[in-house]
Amino acid sequence: MDINSSPPTGAPSYLDPAHFGPWGIYLQQVERVRPYLGELERWIETLRRPRRILIVDVPIHMDDGRIAHFEGYRVQHNTSRGPGKGGVRFHQDVTLSEVMALSAWMSVKNAAVNVPFGGAKGGVRVDPKTLSRNELERLTRRYTSEIGIIIGPNKDIPAPDVNTNEQVMAWMMDTYAMNEGSNATGVVTGKPVDLGGSLGRREATGRGVFTVGQAAARHIGMDVSKSRVAVQGFGNVGSVSAKLFALAGARVVAVQDHQHTIYAEAGLDIPALMAHAVRGDALNDFPGAQVLGQDQFWDVDCDIMIPAALEQQITATNAARIKARMIIEGANGPTTPEADDILQARNVLVVPDVIANAGGVTVSYFEWVQDFSSFFWSEDEINARLVRIMQEAFAVIWQVAQDKQVSLRTATFIVGCTRILHARDLRGLYP
Ligand code: GLU
């Protein structure tokens, strides 16, 4: 029997990759890093088993008097390098497998940029668009109370993710602080600036996407100012990334959200499109843009593609159609391992999520530090530190990819997993 496994019982374990989509993808990515771990490979099960999984029932009063129940999760994948850290998403398709994978990608990401955090993630299986503001607040507060037994400024620090924002973080912070009976601004990041949030946090993920995109473009001799960019997802990450590429002179020719795809040969006016989206207007009503079918997005003639929506968007079925020379993953987990192989064979550079979108958690780290010291930095200082961390981390990863002749994803996993397992090894087991 493999000494690393629990005795077989016949029933599939929640860790079984065959039964769990995104978690299975993450496990395949871990296998790709195994040959490069050296002595630390003896700790590899640490990466293959989340440290702690909490599944909670979230009952709330609906405005019409009914009582509704939602399923919530918080997974702490690893805490060897520091407290758990990672966002909370509200989405109707959230599953345990997804939250497990997202928590693991946080561990790798935090280690790759060397911020002193482990990895965690949370989610509630709910479509927040179907809730009133009061229902959303009750859901957030009840979920926070339920996971309150494992979160805290020194234990695990949530943040925004898909469909959660500064207001949701304000409610989470308030609920935790009220339950604790003390101030606890450091329990979440991505808060409003007036509540101990950090300047620059809202734009940080997009700024990080742009920063590593620029660095990667230099390595392959691509001129960003002359590039054509296609963006999937126009939330916080997609819209800010698009804005920064457009500011650098790139033409953002296509934008897709979960309902529509729009295209403009001369480039879309991104600030105008952001204002359009903030008003709640549908993408296909944007003046001057051509409306494409959702599937046509993958055929758009572009140099850079930025998936900034959900997981498993670039798959074996569409990877061969992508015209871009470079993909920068604003989303977590947008590319499957099969698609990674197709893209690599076609010489398309994939800048993986675990470095490309690390700007958000990097400024979350700054926010957490500022909350502890109650001393707040200027936006320029924050952006300068963010850019420096992202550039330095990317340079190390690029070098590892060159030296070992591996993809940037495997290189980032080599850097991140080595740091995690080295910390694991130094700490040892207790009890
Ligand atoms: N949700 C973001 C991510 O996936 C940020 C997490 C954080 O700031 O803790 O990286």
Question: Is 282 domain-assigned?
Answer: yes
Question: For residue 4, is pLDDT > 60?
Answer: no
Question: With pLDDT > 70 as the criterion, what percentage of the chain qualifies?
Answer: 97
State the pLDDT at residue 192.
Answer: 98
Span 28-40, pLDDT tens digits: 999 999 999 999 9
Residues forming a β-bridge with 157: 85
Using the mean position of ligand 1's atoms as its centre, give its distance from the Cα of residue 361 in Å.
Answer: 5
Query: Is the pLDDT assigned to residue 9 strictly greater than 90?
Result: no
pLDDT at 274 over 90: yes
206 shares its domain with 320: yes
Residues 258 and 165 in one domain: no
Same domain, residue pair 104 and 219: no
Which band of pLDDT confidence, cut at 50, 70 and 90, is reported for residue 21? confident
Q: Does residue 12 lie in a domain region?
A: yes
Residues 67 and 167 in one domain: yes
Across 123-127, average pLDDT: 98
Q: Which residues contact 224 (CB under 8 A, 6 or more apart)?
A: 213, 214, 217, 245, 248, 249, 250, 304
| pLDDT reading at 12 higher than 80 | no
φ/ψ of residue 93, rounded to 5 = -100, 10
> Same structural domain for residues 39 and 130?
no
**Pair 230, 166 in one domain:** no
How many structural domains does the chain have?
Answer: 3
Q: Could you tell me the distance, in angstroms and rounded to a whole number, from the CA of residue 287 to the centre of ligand 1?
A: 33
Same domain, 216 and 337: yes
Within a domain: 193 = no
Q: Are 95 and 158 in a shared domain?
A: yes
pLDDT tens digits along 61-74? 999 999 999 999 99
Q: How far apart are the first and last CA of the chain?
A: 25
Is 78 among the domain residues? yes
Token reading at 349: 């550079």
Q: 10 alpha carbon to ligand 1 midpoint, in Å?
A: 36
Q: The domain that contains 153 carries what CATH number?
A: 3.40.50.10860
pTM: 0.97
Contact 365, 190 (CB under 8 A): no
- Give the span between the Cα atoms of 98 and 140, in whole angstroms: 20
Give yes or no: residues 11 and 79 share one domain.
no
| Domain end marker among 356, 388, 419 | 356
What is the average per-residue pLDDT within 68-88? 98
User: Beta strands 228-232 and 304-307: pairing type?
Assistant: parallel
42 and 141 share one domain: no
Q: Give the model's pLDDT for residue 1.
A: 41
Q: Is 123 helix (H, G, I), strand (E, B) or coil?
A: strand
Catalytic residue among 85, 109, 121, 191: 121
Is residue 361 lining ligand 1, measured as CB closer than 6 Å? yes
* Rounded alpha-carbon distances, angstroms, from residue 216 to 96, 116, 223, 351: 33, 25, 11, 8
Coil/strand/helix, residue 322: coil
| Residue-range definition of the domain harbouring residue 277 | 202-356
Domain annotation covers residue 195: no
Between 130 and 7, residue with greater pLDDT: 130
**Any domain includes 430:** no
Residue 378 forms part of a structural domain:
no
Does ligand 1 have an atom closer than 6 angstroms to the CB of 357?
A: yes
Question: Is the predicted pLDDT of residue 239 greater than 80, yes or no?
Answer: yes
Residue 232 lies in a domain: yes
Contact 91, 164 (CB under 8 A): no
Dist CA 193 CA 259 (whole Å):
32
Region 81-93: mean pLDDT is 97
CATH of the domain at 286: 3.40.50.720
Mean pLDDT, rounded, for 173-195: 97
Same domain, yes or no: 154 and 260: no
Average pLDDT along the chain: 96
Q: pLDDT digits over 148-177, tens only? A: 999 999 999 999 999 999 999 999 999 999
Per-residue pLDDT tens over the stretch 288-341: 999 999 999 999 999 999 999 999 999 999 999 999 999 999 999 999 999 999
Is the pLDDT assigned to residue 2 strictly greater than 90? Answer: no
Q: Give residue 11's pLDDT band: very low, low, confident or very high (50, 70, 90).
A: confident
My answer on whether 74 and 129 are in the same domain is yes
Q: Which residues contact 141 (CB under 8 A, 6 or more apart)?
A: 171, 172, 174, 175
* Percent of the chain at pLDDT exceeding 90: 95
- Residue 121 annotated to the active site: yes
Ligand 1 atom with the smallest distance to the CA of 117 is 9
CB 409 within 8 A of CB 350: yes
